[in-house]
């Protein structure tokens, strides 16, 4: 073993996502299996700075795999991006003897981990915990599958009432910088239009399409909008649609934070468990400062410095599929 690790700290950082608890459980139980000591860092980097760090045992993670959210809590911490904050965090970890960190979060969390690992002698492993699926180097992020299924279930229910009343619904899903939830849920629910941040929204094209559908008496239409769409989200889209199509019964639905919560899907539990197990082995065997992902059903390791720069991109083929199937 290179740079033998004996005490691992595990934390969740940034936005919560379903499956984080499964990842925590996997890190704790894998570490214990290999005879390591595991510590839970509460509220992400804030807990690291405030020394809110607790020992974890096998029973600490009993009965959590099915729970949404995170038992370690999570937070965003501006102080950690200052040198003084990182020094406090380092001193707290060294006092306990923690010599390896597993960070479950998104690109902002990985950016902090990358800076920290460069400054100090504590290796960090990143696990992609984000509902947005916007991190390159993995086919799945922990929480995406659950979030998109939550959105699909909600949109299916909205379609029922849209059909009953012949209405046009504009539905906003999460995705400030990434349109994967909108793309996947929109295709899966047969949405007529999907608006995402990765593609400039052509409102004239949208209006002309809806007018054409109105002429052929297609009165039930669903437009799925990512919150980060460049036109401004569902309310802005609806405002223009109501001006240009005054006869259409238009309604807005914002799905909001229901997409973050709930019991994680089987897929999210499985990938979180695999990633948590792999993270401990990375620390044990000297594969340090990487993000653990899964590509083509195999474990894949991306250096943290690349993981924070690369973004998962939506291919033109996906956009073509949307156009063909929604016609």
Cβ–Cβ under 8 Å, residues 27 and 102: yes
| pLDDT at 234 exceeding the cut of 80 | yes
Q: How much is the pLDDT for 1?
A: 40
Q: How much is the pLDDT for 327?
A: 63
Residue 254: which of 143, 154, 156, 162 has the closest Cα?
154
Residue 66: which of 292, 273, 278, 275 has the closest Cα?
273
Q: Which of 114, 132, 145, 229 is catalytic?
A: 132
Q: How much is the pLDDT for 310?
A: 67
Mean pLDDT for the chain overall: 92
Q: How much is the pLDDT for 3?
A: 60
Q: Which residues of 104-141 are buried (b: 16+ CB within 10 A; e: fewer)?
A: bbbbbbbbbbbbbbeebebbbbbbbbbbbbbbbbbebb
Helices 316-325 and 180-188: angle between axes, nearest 10 degrees: 30
Residue 116: which of 20, 41, 60 has the closest Cα?
41
| Domains with residue ranges and CATH for the chain | 7-143+264-307 (3.40.50.450), 146-260 (3.40.50.460)
Share of the chain above pLDDT 70, in %: 97
Q: What is the C-alpha separation between 83 and 103, in angstroms, rounded?
A: 19
| pLDDT at 235 exceeding the cut of 90 | yes
pLDDT in tens, 241-266: 999 999 888 999 999 999 999 999 99
Q: How much is the pLDDT for 253?
A: 96
Q: What is the C-alpha separation between 123 and 114, in angstroms, rounded?
A: 9
Q: Which residues pair with 190 in a beta bridge?
A: none
Q: What is the mean pLDDT of the segment spanning 38-50?
A: 97
pTM of the model: 0.93
Q: What is the mean pLDDT of the segment spanning 311-327?
A: 77
Q: What is the mean pLDDT of the segment spanning 261-276?
A: 97
Q: What is the C-alpha separation between 143 and 104, in angstroms, rounded?
A: 11
Q: What is the mean pLDDT of the segment spanning 124-147?
A: 94
| pLDDT at 308 exceeding the cut of 90 | no
Q: What is the mean pLDDT of the segment spanning 77-100?
A: 94
Q: Dihedral angle at the C-alpha atoms of 75, 78, 82, 84, nearest 10 degrees? A: -60
pLDDT in tens, 277-295: 999 999 999 999 999 999 9
| pLDDT at 305 exceeding the cut of 90 | no
pLDDT tier for residue 267 given thresholds of 50, 70 and 90 = very high
Q: How much is the pLDDT for 313?
A: 73
- Between residues 88 and 315, the one the model is more confident about: 88
The most confident of the ranges 33-42, 167-176, 199-208 is 33-42
pLDDT tier for residue 220 given thresholds of 50, 70 and 90 = confident
| pLDDT at 83 exceeding the cut of 60 | yes
The most confident of the ranges 2-6, 111-115, 276-280, 319-323 is 276-280
Q: What is the C-alpha separation between 325 and 327, in angstroms, rounded?
A: 6
Is 132 among the residues known to form the active site? yes
pLDDT in tens, 180-218: 999 999 999 999 889 998 888 888 888 888 888 877 776
| pLDDT at 320 exceeding the cut of 80 | yes
């Amino acid at each position: 073993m290179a740079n033998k690790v004996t005490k691992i700290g595990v934390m969740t950082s940034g936005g919560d996502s379903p499956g984080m608890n499964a990842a925590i459980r996997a890190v704790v139980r894998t570490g214990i299996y290999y005879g390591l000591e595991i510590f839970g860092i509460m509220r992400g980097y804030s807990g690291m700075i405030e020394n809110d760090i607790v020992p974890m045992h096998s029973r600490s993670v009993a009965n959590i795999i099915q729970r949404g959210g995170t038992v370690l809590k999570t937070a965003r911490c501006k102080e950690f991006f200052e040198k003084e904050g990182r020094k406090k965090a380092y001193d707290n970890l060294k006092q306990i003897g923690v010599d390896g960190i597993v960070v479950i979060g998104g690109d902002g969390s990985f950016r902090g981990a990358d800076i920290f690992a460069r400054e100090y002698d504590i290796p960090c492993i990143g696990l992609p915990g984000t509902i947005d699926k916007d991190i390159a180097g993995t086919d799945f992020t922990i929480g995406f599958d659950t979030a998109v299924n939550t959105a699909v279930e909600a949109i299916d229910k909205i379609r029922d009432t849209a059909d009953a009343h012949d209405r046009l619904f504009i539905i906003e899903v999460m995705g400030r910088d990434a349109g994967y939830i909108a793309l996947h849920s929109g295709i899966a629910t047969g949405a007529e239009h999907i608006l995402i941040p990765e593609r400039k929204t052509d409102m004239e094209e949208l209006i002309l399409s809806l007018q054409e559908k109105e002429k052929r008496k297609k009165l039930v239409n669903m437009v799925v909008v990512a919150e980060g769409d460049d036109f401004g989200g569902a309310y802005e889209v609806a405002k223009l649609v109501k001006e240009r199509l005054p006869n259409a019964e238009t309604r807005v639905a914002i799905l909001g934070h229901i997409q973050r919560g709930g019991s994680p899907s089987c897929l999210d539990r499985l990938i979180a468990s695999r990633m948590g197990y792999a993270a401990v082995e990375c620390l044990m065997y000297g594969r340090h400062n990487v993000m653990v992902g899964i590509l083509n059903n195999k474990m894949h390791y991306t250096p943290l410095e690349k993981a924070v720069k690369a973004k998962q991109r939506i291919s033109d083929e996906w956009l073509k599929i949307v156009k063909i199937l929604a016609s």
